[in-house]
Amino acid sequence: MKMTDRLETERLILRLPELEDAETLAATINHPEIAKTTLMIPYPYTISDAEGYIINSRDPKTRESEHRFLIFLKDTGKLVGGIGLEGIKPRFKRAEIGYWCAVDHWGKGIVTEAMKRILKYAFEEVELNRVFTLCFAENFASARVMEKCGMKHEGTGREEIIKYDKPVDMHHYAILKSDWPPEEKVPIHMETERLILRTPKFSDLENMVEPINHPVISQFSAHIKYPFTIEDAHEWYKNQSWTENTYGHVTLLIFLKGSEELIGSIWFRAERHHKKASIAYWIGSKHWNKGYATEAVREMIRYGFTELGLERITAGIIVGNISSARVAGKIGMKLEGTAQKEWWEDDGQPIDCHHFVLYKEDWEKNS
C-alpha cells in the first residue's frame, strides 16, 4: 500500500505532522467549537495531547492503517486544519475520512479542497474502493462539504453516539472509486422578478420544516406529511437526490429575493424520453395569495419547454384545491379530465384528482 508524507493543492500543503508542530497544533485546535463538531478531539486540547497525536501519527504501526496530515496554507505556512484516512482496510479496500478546520478559517473552502485531494490520493494511490465518513445530524457545514466532494448520503444512524452525555444522530456519507472523479453537476439557479428557484442543498433542510409544516399543504399533496419533521426533510432530500440521479427528475426550492427566505418547493416528475413531465409545488401558508405560486410555476414551465425539451406538462390537482386550479388556469393549462379515487388518504378515504395539461405549442403562442 502506497503512503506519502506530503500532498499539495492550489492553496494548501498537506503533510505528516512533526513534533515541532505540537505547540502550534495545540493552539490552533484548542477551541470548544472544534471539539463540539468532532468525535474524538477533546477540549481543552493541550501540548501533551498534540505531542501524543504526532508521535502516534508517525509510528510505523499506526501508518499501516492511518494516513494523517496537517493542513497548511501555501502562501503563509499557517496551520489551518487536519485531515486523514482512518481505519484503512487493504483487504476490503476501504477507509474512513476525518478532518477538522481552524475556526477562523471556516467557510473558506479549506476542507473541501483538502478532502478532494485526499480522495484523489485514496483512489489513485492507495487504491481504495470506498471512502466513507460521518457527521453530526446538525452539522450542516460538514454535510455541505461532503456533497461538494461527490459523497452520497447513505442514511442516518439514530442516536449513534453519545456526545456530552446526550445521544446524537449521525449522517453517513460515502463515495466509491467508480464515482470518482465526481461529475461537476451545475446546480440549477433561476430568477424571476421576486423569486429565486434553485437546486436544494442539505443545509437548506432546517429552514424547510417551518414553512412546509401545515395541515392544508399535507391535505392537498399526495406525499407531504403533517406534522413534517427534520427527519422527514432528510428523507425528502435523500429521495429527491435519488430520483434526480435515477430518472432525471428536477426538484427546486423557492426563495424570496433579497431576504432569501425559503418559502416553498417546485418539481418535475419527468419522462424525458417521452418529452413530458408532471409539475407540482407547495408554498408556505404565510405567503399564500401573493402570486408566488403562479410566478414560480411560469418559470418552471419555461425551463421545462426551453431547457429540458419537453412537449407536454401536466398537473394533477386534488379536487377541492381551488387555489392550485386557479394557478393552472392563469398559466394556460387546460382541464383534461378528472380521475376518481386516484389516491387514498391514510384514513382510507379516496381522493379524486383533476388533470390539467399544457402543450409546448400552446405555451409558445401565448408567451
Q: Is the pLDDT of residue 171 over 80?
A: yes
Q: Which of 83-87, 197-201, 220-224 has the lowest mean pLDDT?
A: 220-224
Average pLDDT over residues 171-194: 89
Q: Which domain holds residue 83?
A: 6-179
Q: Please check whether residues 202 and 133 belong to one and the same domain.
A: no
Q: Please check whether residues 138 and 46 belong to one and the same domain.
A: yes
Q: Is the pLDDT of residue 70 over 90?
A: yes
Q: Please check whether residues 212 and 78 belong to one and the same domain.
A: no
Q: Is the pLDDT of residue 185 over 70?
A: no
* 184 falls within a domain: no
Q: Which three three-digit cell numbers place residue 96?
A: 474512513
Instruction: Determine the pLDDT at residue 244.
Output: 78
Q: Please check whether residues 290 and 351 belong to one and the same domain.
A: yes
* 1 falls within a domain: no
Query: 229: buried, middle or exposed (CB in 10 Å: 19+, 13-18, 0-12)?
Result: exposed
Q: Please check whether residues 149 and 111 belong to one and the same domain.
A: yes
Instruction: Determine the pLDDT at residue 97.
Output: 97
CA 32/CA 36 separation, integer angstroms: 6
For residue 43, the SS3 value is coil
* 196 falls within a domain: yes
| Percent of residues in the chain assigned helix, strand, coil, to nearest 5 | 35, 35, 30
Which residues make beta-bridge pairs with 98?
84
CA distances from residue 346 to 149, 219, 222, 224, 235 in whole angstroms, order as listed: 39, 11, 10, 12, 19
Residue type, 305: F
Q: Is the pLDDT of residue 274 over 80?
A: yes
Q: Please check whether residues 11 and 43 belong to one and the same domain.
A: yes
Q: Please check whether residues 343 and 205 belong to one and the same domain.
A: yes
Q: Which of 113, 146, 179 is the last residue of a domain?
A: 179
| Cβ atoms within 10 Å, residue 255 | 20
Q: Which three three-digit cell numbers place residue 140?
A: 450542516
Please report where in the chains the cell 450542516 appears, as a residue.
140
Instruction: Determine the pLDDT at residue 18.
Output: 97
Instruction: Determine the pLDDT at residue 138.
Output: 85
Instruction: Determine the pLDDT at residue 189.
Output: 94
Q: Please check whether residues 145 and 19 belong to one and the same domain.
A: yes
* 330 falls within a domain: yes
Please give the sequence-ordered ranges of beta strands (E in DSSP) within the chain, or none if there are none.
6-8, 12-15, 67-73, 79-89, 94-101, 130-136, 152-163, 166-176, 189-191, 195-198, 250-256, 262-271, 276-283, 312-318, 334-344, 350-359
Q: Please check whether residues 228 and 349 belong to one and the same domain.
A: yes
Average pLDDT over residues 202-210: 90
* 139 falls within a domain: yes
* 112 falls within a domain: yes
Whole-number average pLDDT of the chain: 92
Q: Which of 207-216, 221-230, 285-294 has the lowest mean pLDDT?
A: 221-230
CB contact burial 74-106 (16+ within 10 A = b; e otherwise): eeeeebbbbbbbeebeeeebbbbbbbbbbeebe
Q: Is the pLDDT of residue 184 over 70?
A: no
pLDDT tens by residue, 229-252 = 998 998 888 788 767 766 778 999
Q: Which of 179, 206, 230 is the last residue of a domain?
A: 179
Instruction: Determine the pLDDT at residue 333.
Output: 97
CA 98/CA 110 separation, integer angstroms: 14
For residue 230, the SS3 value is helix
pLDDT tens by residue, 86-123 = 999 999 999 999 999 999 999 888 999 999 999 999 99
Instruction: Determine the pLDDT at residue 186.
Output: 77
Q: What is the DSSP letter of 272?
A: G
Q: Is the pLDDT of residue 226 over 90?
A: yes
* 10 falls within a domain: yes
- For the full predicted model, state whether its pTM sits above 0.85: no
Average pLDDT over residues 83-87: 96
Among candidates 62, 72, 54, which has minimal Cα distance to 14?
72
Average pLDDT over residues 62-90: 95
The number of domains in the chain is: 2
- Bridge-based pairing of strands 189-191 and 6-8 is unpaired
Q: Please check whether residues 121 and 30 belong to one and the same domain.
A: yes
CATH of the domain at 70: 3.40.630.30
- Which of residues 146 and 140 earns the better pLDDT score? 146
What is the maximum alpha-carbon separation in the chain? 76
Q: Is the pLDDT of residue 181 over 90?
A: no
Q: Please check whether residues 131 and 257 belong to one and the same domain.
A: no
* 277 falls within a domain: yes
Average pLDDT over residues 162-183: 92
Q: Please check whether residues 346 and 271 belong to one and the same domain.
A: yes
Instruction: Determine the pLDDT at residue 261.
Output: 97
Q: Which of 144, 179, 214 is the last residue of a domain?
A: 179
Q: Is the pLDDT of residue 1 over 70?
A: no
Percent of the chain residues topping a pLDDT of 70: 98
Instruction: Determine the pLDDT at residue 247.
Output: 72
